[in-house]
Structure 1
Amino acid sequence: MRLRAMLIGAVTAAYLSAAAGALTVGERGLVIPLYRPGETAPLGVPETSDTVETGETLIFNVSDPTLELFRPPADMANGTAVIVAPGGGFVGLDYEAGGAAVARRLARRGVTAFVLKYRTIRSPATAMHMPEVHMREMETVIARARTGVPHEMPRFAGEANAVADGARAMAIVRSRAAEWGIDPRRVGMIGFSSGAYLAVDLAIGDKASRPDFVALIYGGLRTPVPPCAPPAFIAGAGDDEYQTNDPLLLFSAWRAAGAYAEVHVYERGGHGFGLTPRGMSSDHWFDELIWWLRSRRLMN
């Protein structure tokens, strides 16, 4: 029972964040399909949403990926764009708290923001929504957090499709940059948990799909990191029981490659501290991200 509880917690921990009280939900953004009808294989079950133990509503069984656009006020737009990739273990998507809420906050700072609803693996219609393959993956995650072995997590089921969706999203944003008032050389990605794995894969992968900068929030190590990897803002918590050492591993890999990186490891925050103020230093990660973007002249 203890292991099953930990596995449930591992999946739902990335969903603990919620929009800060000062933010309002407002209108939904423009939704842009990533593919034409029939280009992606259906999962055989309909896309669904469900509310988990934390109170967060998650999206499951995504087979038709999209981008949702959140534009800044015209007098604040600074030409920088960020694609937000929510977490959820490639099983569900923490779409509101780990996606739209972050995108709205970025838009209020002048950034043209997008939420990436990427493909997930098929999830059973149970209270846990926990496919067997992900149960096994989470056993590896927990064992790795305890022992440090393996050094790098094996690829997750569904990761390849999600990365392909991320690459398509990068191409769409850059191709329509003039339409949206974006500098095509200032298109970054912020990923949370599994979304951070997606962002790392793009950052160290094919140059054509590489973001111009990345923010990796409670994400995990992927290698090899090339010398031309984009600048990275890396954040996590020292009490994250699933990605215990990965912020430092990511930073070390970036620096060993000669690429630029900044790392923040907060004393407390767990896995999924998000935007909700909880009286911890990790409450300020978003402000520190903004300061980092300003230092790189990506924001005013």
Structure 2
Amino acid sequence: MAGTARPIRLPWPRSFFPKHTCSLSIGDFILPRIRVVIPTLLAIGIAGAACGQAMKNDSSPARVEVPKVEREGVWQSTPGGTQVPLWPANVPLAKPDSGDRPETTGNGSPLVGGRKWHWATYVTRPTMTVYRPKGRNTGVTMLVLPGGGFYAVAMDLEGTEVCDWVTRQGMTCVVLKYRTPQVWPKENGEQQRPKVLLGLEDAQRAIGLLRQRASTYGIDPRKIGVIGFSAGAYLVANMSNTEERTYPLTDAADRQSPRPDFAIVAYTARMLDNSKGKNSLELKPWVKISAKAPPTLIIHAMNDSVDDIRQPMAYALALNDAGVPVDMRVYAKGGHAFGMRPTADPITTQWPGQVEQWLLNIGML
């Protein structure tokens, strides 16, 4: 049920944020030594996840803003989508770091392509929303993992809008609304991966359900891939390099392989071990690489001020060293969190075509 709109305000003035460039990074952001409540963390997380869009060449104002409004209520799919629960109602799930707050939706800023973007958070019952292909059906499925800094899920910018393009290419598209927020702990000043990565559990569950229900959805169970953005890209990397399911067996769907058949990572995060120095391309200790990872396409902008170019470079080199086919498409400009909305930067209009050609190259289309 929709509730009263609640503006989210940070305890710092707007001047705290840079005007033309952003150095705010969820991975490296150090909070003051005060107790910060979840709504404040959420505001910081979403602002950081989108701050790379506040660039001079973007059509949005050259500043970083926090989300404008949040409303209690479960996110609803756009027309044509069928929202499906990931887990049986009687299965107890680990809760995100949201206390007892109900699921909440809202709109965020800065503007991307001149428009607001919308997110969901305090997600305790994750879902996948299935969009059938428009016209011909290639049998290929794309599971979409939006970003949001693990504080929220950017449902339209990096979710349903991606599906609008995917379904026009004859593919089934599935948007994952995974459990958030999940705060990453710090130890000795270094950010640590949570012991249980809730979004990874939800993503693996979605892959299993899609393979089990392949005949229902009219898809090829051997052609199910994933695309992730920012935090979602980090989840994609984990899915690609994890052969074992990360949660106890629930039902027959969990007997299916949780590994995708192809992977696309866009402006990926949380891969690089920053403690090794500025010129290092060493991955964080918990980032494991498997020779069985699927063919991977990496998309990134050189001027991404949230997750710099060394993040995908380190991942690409590690995959290559393991013998995994990996391609990179790097553009000079584009910033962070551009999704599929056209701006003055070529990456925003060209990367979908690069994905289509790559899928042809690896024999998926």
TM-score bucket of the superposed structures, by smaller chain: 0.7 to 0.9
Unmatched runs of 5 consecutive residues or more in structure 2: 1-11, 18-23, 26-43, 55-76, 111-115, 245-256, 272-282
1:230 to 294, 302, 318: 294
Is this contact kept in 2: 1:62–1:121, CA < 8 A?
A: yes
Deviation sequence 1:146-191 (CA, Å, 0-9, x none)? xxxx8xx742x59711100001000000000111111111100000
Give the deviation of 1:56 after TM superposition.
Answer: 1.6
Query: Match for 2:48 among 1, 6, 10?
Result: 10
CA distance in 2, matches of 1:159, 1:107: 33
| Cα 1:81/1:15, change in 2 over 3 Å | farther
> For residues 158 and 91 of structure 1, what CA distance do their matches in structure 2 show?
17
Aligned-partner Cα distance in 1 for 2:299–2:315: 10
Q: Which has the larger radius of gyration?
A: 2
For the 8 Å contact 2:158–2:229, the answer to whether it is kept is: yes
| Match of residue 81 from structure 2 | 29
Q: Deviations for 1:20-61, whole angstroms, at most 9, x for unmatched residues?
A: xxxxx9614111100122422454110011122322221110
CA distance, structure 2, for counterparts of residue 69 and residue 167 of structure 1? 16
Shift of 1:4: 5.4
Counterpart position of 1:115: 175
Q: Which residue of 2 aligns with 1:187?
A: 224
Contact in 2 for aligned 1:15/1:94 (Cα 8 Å): no
Name the residue aligned to 1:169: 206
Q: Retained in 2: the 8 A contact 1:89–1:194?
A: yes
Structure with higher RCO (Cα < 8 A, 6+ apart):
1
Task: List gaps (5 residues or longer) in structure 1.
Answer: 17-24, 123-132, 141-149
- TM alignment of 1:125-204, pairs within 5 A: 133=183, 154-155=192-193, 157=194, 160-204=197-241
Q: 1:98 is matched with which residue: 138, 158, 162?
A: 158
TM-score (norm 2): 0.67
Q: Which residue does 2:351 correspond to in 1?
A: 285
Alignment root-mean-square deviation, CA: 2.5
Q: Give the TM-score of the pair, scaled to structure 1.
A: 0.81
Aligned length: 265
Q: Aligned to 1:52, what secondary structure does the other structure show?
A: strand
Q: Does residue 46 of structure 1 match 2:84?
A: no
Q: Secondary structure at the match of 2:142?
A: strand
Cα pair 1:15 1:97 within 8 Å, conserved: no
Task: Give 1:195 deviation, angstroms.
Answer: 0.4
CA drift of 1:281 comes to: 2.5
Quote how far apart the aligned CAs of 1:224 are: 2.3
| Larger helix fraction of residues | 1
Q: 3-state DSSP class of the match of 1:56?
A: strand
Range that drifts further, 30-39 or 108-117: 30-39
CA distance in structure 2 between the partners assigned to 1:191 and 1:277 by the alignment = 19
SS in 2 for 1:178: helix
